[in-house]
Amino acid sequence: MRYGSVVPLVTARALSAREFTYELPDGAGKGAVVTVPFGRSRARGVVVEVVDAAPLGVTPLPVEKVVHELPPALVDLALWIAEYYGSTPARALELVAPVRRQRRKEQSSPVERQSLEGEAAPAQLRPDQEQALARIAEGGRFLLYGPTGSGKTEVYLQAAAAALERGLGTIVLVPEIALAPQTVGRFRTRFGDSVALLHSGLTDAERRDERERIARGEARIVVGARSAIFAPMHGLGLICVDEEHDQSYKQESDPRYDARTVAAKRAALEGATVVYGSATPRPESWAALERLELRERIGARLPPVRIVDLRREAGYPLSAPLLAGLGEIAENGGKAILLLNRRGIAPALHCRACGTTFRCPDCDVALVLHRDEALRCHHCGHAEPSPSECPVCRSVELARIGAGTQRLERELAERVPELELIRLDADTAGRPEELARALRRFRDTDRAVLLGTQMVAKGHHFAGVALAAVVDADTGLGLPDLRAEERTFQLVTQLAGRSGRDAPGRVIVQTFQPDARPLALAARHDVPRFLADELERRRELGYPPFRHLVRVLVTSPSERSGLKLLEELRAGLDGDLLGPAPLFRIRGKYRAQLVAKTDEPRRLAARTARLLAAAAPAMRRAGLTAVVDVDPQSL
């Protein structure tokens, strides 16, 4: 008789950490998704191990039904995720075995509806593309680094074709599928029905159909967002992670996995190759991966970037140079993209006269102005009273400079009424169809301005973009995050890549800090310099990739109770601990965090989880909740 250890996919944390033994039918092995009798009802579960004997004194019940089979490697992957990210096996297994809905009527596949038409393969690859492909064919993990339009996507396509020739499948991850209809279209043009699409915008039935096509081996190329890394593909040969610097690869709810790390793990388990591609790679990837470089943009030069010093310009948010650029478009035609990345975080304090941003002396992050007029560090809890004058130049003009996308839209309508305005932010483009409609309108309209949050800087290739502008580059720099400079650099460089792909383009960056390193280096398109400096800074501070971070975030009904819990936690942990530091309140809840720098994130996360489990009853009574985030992407 064969038995299987089954993890029932139930949500209760107490149960979801356990395995139960059942009698297996013939043929069912590790990776089988089954229905089993469980308590007084039944549950869905996954066989995580086949065993010869049942535990002593247990008479296992038989499995009721085998629903389908997952590649066994996905079971190992899920169990690894549960451990590394401090989740439970059941929750991690839900990622690889999502609930399946009933069959539905035939309908056009999402790939057909959600892709733009692609282009044919180029007659000849460039030497640097050939070189990259030759290395990729040898296997391993690589960083494919090259400016926007340098032919990275073509390398993914060719590498996928090579894998297919050897009978192996490919997973292509893109940050947000709604922003990548062109990428999807190119894969579809090249590989036809062999392409499947997976992302959260699909209906349950669509997802089920796509997963079945993948599991049956009909679809050998999967294009999708973060969760597509769990595609039930057998014989995986290649994973491409496009725009690998993008934050959306991190899931911000339990299990808090990072698809880029999971990609590396899955590739290691299945002997596959990974290609991480970006024009603005993460310092982590720059330091750790073999670099394959595509040196030049195909068909056009990178556009010149002009930095506009807002200390010397009236008229924010529309400075004279920016208005002049927009006026030219109104007159001669063309398109403009304006980025104003105003997110819902209390901004930092700037000096209007000299551009100083107030920073934490210990953490090298910007201090955040709180309601109580204190400047606080969200890393370590350092606090100082908000100054009445600038400590550098004595100016009393300290300000949070502010304009959101709506104010910008109003000013544009007044100042350049000839231009058609298309706003793109979470308010106007919440759903994929709205987003697609806005992008189509922009593509088809001359004298149009696409304005919005960081969405506008991502992945689109539009013809005729004569001007790209960052309206307020200080927004990002002011964020209290160790990655603030990295993100600003990426955003400015990415936006610059949207301009002048087919016509001479221009880029304008408005800032109160024209000398800020990320802006100056982005203006020169100097990615290697920025990353070298950034890595040096991270080394000094003991930040990733030199050490790992583990973050414990507590929400509580009072400020004191949350901080007290973290103080107790801190006493039970060793290592390099920052905090507890209070964070700003969200929805009436107080929040606080403890951040650890460590070389052993798994051990530290496991210890934290044990301490939290012990405190759970008291926490429940006091209304406290806690999450542990391993390798957090924002703080």
Tell me how far apart the alpha carbons of residues 136 and 163 are, in angstroms, rounded to a whole number. 10
Tell me how far apart the alpha carbons of residues 456 and 31 are, in angstroms, rounded to a whole number. 41
Among 122, 417, 557, 623, binds ligand ADP (CB under 6 A): 122
SS3 406: helix
Over the window 340 to 369, marking each residue x when it contacts ligand ADP by CB under 6 A and - when it does not, the resulting string is ------------------------------
CA nearest to 455, candidates 480, 469, 435: 435
Among 5, 10, 142, 154, binds ligand ADP (CB under 6 A): 154
Query: Token pair for residue 418?
Result: 């000839």
Task: Considering only residues 350 through 379, tell me which ones interact with Zn ion, judged by CB under 5 A.
Answer: 351, 353-354, 356, 360, 362-363, 377, 379
CA nearest to 71, candidates 211, 279, 260: 211
Task: Considering only residues 279 through 318, tell me which ones interact with ligand ADP, judged by CB under 6 A.
Answer: 298
Question: Under the criterion CB under 6 A, does residue 208 sit at the interface with ligand ADP?
Answer: no
Question: Under the criterion CB under 6 A, does residue 152 sit at the interface with ligand ADP?
Answer: yes
Query: Token pair for residue 306?
Result: 């002009």
Tell me how far apart the alpha carbons of residues 321 and 535 are, in angstroms, rounded to a whole number. 34
Cβ-count burial 475-488 (b if 16+ within 10 Å, e if not): bbbbbbbbbbbbbb
Binding partner at 354 among ligand ADP, Zn ion, none, C-beta below 5 to 8 Å by kind: Zn ion
CA nearest to 257, candidates 98, 96, 99, 140: 96
Question: Under the criterion CB under 5 A, does residue 541 sit at the interface with Zn ion?
Answer: no
Among 8, 60, 71, 151, binds ligand ADP (CB under 6 A): 151
CB neighbour list of residue 94: distance below 8 Å, 6 or more residues apart: 9
Task: Please state the separation of Cα 521 from the chain's center in Å.
Answer: 23
Residue placing its CB nearer to Zn ion in the complex, 354 or 616: 354
238 in Cβ contact with 168 (< 8 Å): yes
Binding partner at 21 among ligand ADP, Zn ion, none, C-beta below 5 to 8 Å by kind: none
Q: Select the span of 76-84, 150-158, 505-513, 537-545 touching ligand ADP (CB under 6 A).
A: 150-158
**320-332 and 405-415 are packed helices; what angle lies between their axes, rounded to 10 degrees?**
60
Residue type at 482 in one-letter notation: L
Task: Considering only residues 99 through 118, tell me which ones interact with ligand ADP, judged by CB under 6 A.
Answer: none
Among 88, 109, 150, 405, binds ligand ADP (CB under 6 A): 150
Element (H, E) at 67: strand 65-69
Binding partner at 323 among ligand ADP, Zn ion, none, C-beta below 5 to 8 Å by kind: none
Residues, the chain, total? 635
Residue placing its CB nearer to Zn ion in the complex, 353 or 403: 353
Nearest approach, Cβ of residue 123 and ligand ADP (Å)? 7
* Angle at CA of residue 514, ends 510 and 517, nearest 5°: 120
Task: Considering only residues 326 through 355, tell me which ones interact with Zn ion, judged by CB under 5 A.
Answer: 351, 353-354
Residue placing its CB nearer to ligand ADP in the complex, 149 or 317: 149
472 in Cβ contact with 318 (< 8 Å): no
Binding partner at 390 among ligand ADP, Zn ion, none, C-beta below 5 to 8 Å by kind: Zn ion
Among 13, 126, 234, 539, binds ligand ADP (CB under 6 A): 126
Binding partner at 353 among ligand ADP, Zn ion, none, C-beta below 5 to 8 Å by kind: Zn ion
Alpha-carbon torsion (35, 37, 38, 40), positive or negative: positive
174 in Cβ contact with 115 (< 8 Å): no
Query: Token pair for residue 145?
Result: 């680094």
Q: Select the span of 144-152, 216-224, 266-274, 539-547 touching ligand ADP (CB under 6 A).
A: 144-152
Among 15, 17, 125, 401, binds ligand ADP (CB under 6 A): 125
Nearest approach, Cβ of residue 393 and Zn ion (Å)? 3
Chain residues that interact with ligand ADP, rule: CB under 6 A: 119, 122, 124-126, 129, 146, 148-154, 298
